[in-house]
Amino acid sequence: MNNSGKFETNRKTWNAKVAVHAESEFYEMQNFRNGKTSLNKYELDAVGDISGKRLLHLQCHFGQDTLSLARMGAKCTGVDISDEAIKLAKRLNAELKLDASFVCCNVLDTSEYISEKFDIVFTSYGTIGWLPDLKPWAKMISVRLKPGGFFYIVEFHPIAWMFDYSVSPPVMKYGYHQKEAIYEEYEGTYADKNSKMVSKEYGWNHSLGEVITSLSEVGLYIEYLREHDASPYDIFPGLLKNKEEMFALPNKMYPLIFEVKATKNSTTKAVES
Ligand X SMILES: C[S@@+](CC[C@H](N)C(=O)[O-])C[C@H]1O[C@@H](n2cnc3c(N)ncnc32)[C@H](O)[C@@H]1O
Residues in touch with ligand X (CB under 6 A)? 7, 10, 14, 59, 61, 64-65, 80-82, 85, 106-107, 124-127, 130-131
How far apart are CB 24 and ligand X at their closest, in Å?
11
Choice between 42 and 150, CB closer to ligand X? 42
How far apart are CB 27 and ligand X at their closest, in Å?
8
How far apart are CB 267 and ligand X at their closest, in Å?
32
Choice between 130 and 150, CB closer to ligand X? 130
Quick check: 197 and 209 in contact, CB under 8 A?
no
Of 262, 254, 195, the C-alpha closest to 225 is: 262
How far apart are CB 11 and ligand X at their closest, in Å?
7
Amino acid making up residue 172: M
**Is residue 250 reached through a cis peptide bond, with omega within 30 degrees of 0 on the bond before it?**
no
Choice between 92 and 249, CB closer to ligand X? 92
Amino acid making up residue 201: E
**Which sign, positive or negative, has the C-alpha torsion 90, 91, 96, 97?**
positive
How far apart are CB 197 and ligand X at their closest, in Å?
14
How far apart are CB 255 and ligand X at their closest, in Å?
18
Choice between 46 and 219, CB closer to ligand X? 46
How far apart are CB 174 and ligand X at their closest, in Å?
18
| Residue, CB closest to ligand X | 126
Choice between 69 and 81, CB closer to ligand X? 81
Choice between 127 and 219, CB closer to ligand X? 127
94-128 per-residue burial string, b: 16 or more CB within 10 A, e: under 16: eeeebebbbbbbbbbebeeebeeebbbbbbbbebb
Choice between 102 and 219, CB closer to ligand X? 102
Give me the helix-helix angle, 83-95 and 4-23, nearest 10°.
40
